[in-house]
Structure 1
């Protein structure tokens, strides 16, 4: 096994169990031990960087290198290395289409503030209630650049997968994936966590063989397929389990932390 230079983990469902607001102390300790051993570590998440840091027990250095907003923002050693944006032309086309679908809508973010561009606040509340309290209702194109954008439609996971597939068919310049029921990530076509990892590897000067990634959801599939040392936790989405080369225990049991501890100690025996 090659010496690792970079370790990235998804947050929700991978190192943060459902219903928890912060990762475990064991997880932050394992990540910090890897940093102290000279390995760059961080998270690869659909969340913005300012939201990720509190989840990491406010240990900012654990977010110095990371992929935020599904790779739309790439950070290296505390600096923004790259940022992708979704144009207002693309947002307008999505909004027009989504207004025709039942219980569907579009949210664009101004930093950490959600802005409702299409759909009703009532439907949005059913899809992602936490965002409603701080949401601005626009129903017009955003006046600030858009990095994070989500489509939503009330329904279960199967419905959301069908909704995402419909959007992928409709918009050939955008990509859509499912992080959770009723909620869909939007990125420029061809952009993902995998492309963000390529940028980090280029900047660090390492190959993909020196990278380990951990994930559990649909928005992790691109990086799990892309990186040879890809790991899914028990209970991950079927597509994530299929994409990952290796499989470990549950998020709730700190399986990622245990694996990183083993990597740092030089005793991880990866098993398919």
Structure 2
């Protein structure tokens, strides 16, 4: 029986660019929690960014696997944190800052972003999407020195520019990976570390078997957890690799696909309790 649900945010739980999760999504989270099923985001975002998505309802994000597995929260407390290597970050910064229409960003604990490269005006709508708590632009070589857990970059224009920059940065910074998680955006993550590693830490804290964890995703930074867990689900708008990696397939983020699946998970848990035997969620029986 599923006892923990973890879902990617952008383009999975919510359509990219949406300012909040739908009412149906929040209600589905609460219905699962009423059945004793834990829920948490499994996102490239950090906790400070999630409050507005859930209208400050901390029960929806007190537990989660954030910053692509580099931060794990349980009941509102950080139980694991992995920082990025500063020498490789500076190398990536020097390359990205020279690319037209690109901004390289590092985030503080309070989620303010420091960046080099493109101006706020050049970034347009992307500015609000990636600097949710504000930010300050710096000249190359003048970025402040503090431990960095979360970093990434905006690459304006055709998304192929982001894909190409990811290749360049991966060659120059072998200790980091740069997945193109949404259009015009690259994460900066430790090579060989991902969401699945964070999920495993949370799973161990909760004492759960792999089969008791259900994960939802849509993009390259979800692949490791989609491949690792038997109850893995790709949304209908997922990229080709995520579609192949997901064992199950649910509706698109724009159609509340994850919310519908969570409703079915809660209904199956309720029915299992009533019947005294395990019942699979409806989408797993199709």
TM-score by length of 1: 0.90
My pick for the range that moved more, 77-86 or 148-157, is 148-157
Distance 1:114 1:97 in 2: 18
More strand by share: 1
Q: What's the offset of the Cα at 1:33?
A: 1.5
Residue pairs, 1:68-217, within 5 angstroms: 68-110=66-108, 111-116=110-115, 118-121=116-119, 125-126=123-124, 128-130=126-128, 131=130, 134-139=134-139, 140-217=142-219
Partner of 1:35: 33
Residues 116-171 of structure 1: per-residue CA shift (max 9 Å, x gap): 1x323258615822146922122323232211101333332233222212222222
Question: Which stretch of structure 1 is more off in the superposition, 135-144 or 234-243?
Answer: 135-144
Kept in 1: contact 2:5–2:40 (CA 8 A): yes
Instruction: Summarize the Cα distance change of 1:104–1:24 in structure 2 as closer, same or farther, 3 Å threshold.
Output: closer
CA contact (8 A) 1:91 1:141 kept: no
- Match of 1:178, SS? coil
Q: Secondary structure at the match of 1:179?
A: coil
SS at match of 1:236: coil
User: Aligned equivalents of 1:153 and 1:215: distance in 2?
Assistant: 22
Deviations 1:198-254 (A, max 9, x none): 111111111222110111222222221221111111111222212211111122222
Secondary structure at the residue paired with 1:41?
Answer: strand
The SS at the match of 2:13 is coil
SS of the residue aligned with 1:13?
A: coil
CA distance in 2, matches of 1:109, 1:257: 30
Say which is worse superposed, 135-144 or 47-56, in terms of deviation: 135-144
Query: Which residue of 1 is the match for residue 275 of structure 2?
Result: none
Worse overlay, 243-252 or 130-139: 130-139
Contact 1:179 / 1:185 at 8 angstroms: preserved in 2? yes
Q: Distance in 2 between matches of 1:237 and 1:127?
A: 23
Q: Report the 3-state secondary structure (helix = DSSP H, G, I; strand = E; otherwise coil) of the residue aligned with 1:47.
A: coil
Which residue pairs with 2:226 in the alignment?
224
Partners of 2:105 and 2:152 within 8 A in 1: yes
> Residue 216 of structure 2: SS of its match in structure 1?
strand
Q: How many residues align?
A: 269
Distance 1:120-1:252 versus aligned 2 partners, 3 A rule = closer
Segment drifting more, 120-129 vs 165-174:
120-129
